[in-house]
Structure 1
């Protein structure tokens, strides 16, 4: 290695220059995302609320409830209904999304692009005012998404040129999702409205209110460690692997020289 450097001093300068360039680029990346970031994180509540549903008429499986919040999720669960009956939920005031895979693990689906080109390969949500499921064993849960813009877990991010504009945008996002929606729940059996006797219905929804907004920041120490690890990895790929190949070839060449010398002596 020393002989190679003495014969080719440009190699050492190239190595040092490459290392310094990587350090400068990685340092700037950390700086730009910690000190001069244009991204902001906002936090909302993620309250789970039960709907205190009211029965439309006595002994009929029809209920209703009105919400006024910014909603992301709704769940409608039914027990003790007739096997094969149909649960239908209609939202007066907005369309909402539903897929049988919502809320299920290890299921692939997408809700914000119902008419996408890859809907043939990936399950997409149906976007409508009314959705239905069949209660195979007399029980089941119909899940839906209302606002697709609000963060499901209460943590979201946006890009803005100032914290004042970011605050306004986050507030407008939550306010625009607030709608007056009347949820109508109905269970039908053989095409007729079923009797409500013995049927248990539980409905819940998650609501959101803006709590706080702050400038998005990275941990400088953590990012420096990551950057240094990336730098070491780059040098490993650039230097160590080629050197291993070089020394392996050199060892094989020396071994062949010794073998040829032994044959010539014999």
Structure 2
């Protein structure tokens, strides 16, 4: 950046060696620029149009243990027992609908019906799922049927796929009022169906009621506030970053200056030694000439 071949290096070395004030000037300009740029980074960080909002999730649960009523129908011709239950949905800001059935007979199925449809996928709700995004991969289904595995069937559905509607989020706004309206628009929704129907079909004539649990999650906007940072730590980080950049640029110049000064001092020492030897030699020669003249 600073040098263009050997000539530029030599010119820089001579300039720094002949003008020590240049080093102080470079240092002064460097620290001034470092401080100004650090403040610019810091000011740009804290002066933001970002607002963060939080939501409060309320969970309601209905289960066979808490008195959820089943309708039982035995189909003698098909030799199957059907258990069905209707569950009322809180439609305001509904996000998750989770249905879990246990103690199922081998070959049993769990069917969840919602007239407005729920977004579902086999990987939904799995924490370590890879290459999965419900916004891209989930499908809106009115009816979903799952087969039991080891006597258990679990259904997970979403009323909305927007992540900001079911968790904390961020909006970009010009004012607090605009941020409040934007956050409310993201979180607020009203599900189109008020009833969820759950059906379990088991082979044979079953008299033992399956263990069924239905969990629904509703979100409510809690707080909207400007995004803020730790002022002191952000300024320190900005100062460190800019200082590191300038160090990378300026250290070569300072290193050349130090080397040139060291060489200059060595040359001065050699010159002084040579002058001392020359003075000694001149004095010896003059003494010999005087002695010769006196002898003659």
Same fold (TM over 0.5): yes
1:58 aligns with 2:72: yes
1:40 paired to 2:51: yes
Give the match for residue 179 of structure 2. 166
**2:199 equivalent to 1:186:** yes
How far apart, CA to CA, are the structure 2 residues paired with 1:135 and 1:79? 9
Task: Measure the CA separation in 2 of the matches of 1:90 and 1:15.
Answer: 73
Q: Alpha carbon RMSD of aligned pairs, Å?
A: 3.8
Q: Does 1:104 align with 2:115?
A: no
Q: Aligned ranges for residues 165-244 of structure 1 at < 5 Å?
A: 165-177=178-190, 179-189=192-202, 195=206, 197-235=208-246, 237-238=248-249
Structure 2 runs not aligned, ≥5 long: 1-11, 74-81, 257-296
User: Within 5 Å, which residues of 2 pair with 1:242-257?
Assistant: none
The CA deviation at 1:100 is: 2.2
Q: Equivalent residue for 1:89?
A: 112
Residues 8-17 or 67-76, more deviating? 8-17
> Measured at CA, do residues 58 and 218 of structure 1 come closer, stay the same or move farther in structure 2, by a change above 3 Å?
same
Q: Distance in 1 between matches of 2:60 and 2:121?
A: 21
Counterpart residue number, 1:249: none
Q: Give the whole-Å Cα distance in 2 for the aligned partners of 1:43 and 1:125.
A: 25
Per-residue CA deviation, residues 159-193 of structure 1 (Å, 9 max, x unaligned), is 11221122122223333345544211122346x9x
What TM-score, normalized by structure 1, do the two folds share? 0.70
CA contact (8 A) 2:34 2:246 kept: no
Aligned length: 234
> Highest CA radius of gyration, 1 or 2?
2
SS of 1:176's equivalent in the other structure is coil
For residue 48 of structure 1, give the secondary structure of its aligned residue in structure 2.
strand
* Among 93, 98, 107, the residue aligned to 1:70: 93
Select between 8-17 and 99-108 the one with higher mean Cα deviation. Answer: 8-17
Q: 1:139 to 1:231 in 2, by over 3 A?
A: same
Q: Distance in 2 between matches of 1:98 and 1:7?
A: 77
In 2, Cα distance between equivalents of 1:236 and 1:57: 77
- 1:196-228 alpha-carbon deviations (Å, 9 max, x no partner): 723101111221111221112122112122223
CA distance in 2, matches of 1:29, 1:97: 43
Tell me by how many angstroms 1:56 deviates.
5.7
Provide the secondary structure at the position in 1 that maps to 2:229: coil
Shift of 1:195: 4.9
Could you tell me the TM-score, scaled by structure 2's length? 0.64
**Which stretch of structure 1 is more off in the superposition, 176-185 or 10-19?**
10-19
Verify the 8 A CA contact 2:159 2:191 in the aligned structure 1.
Answer: no
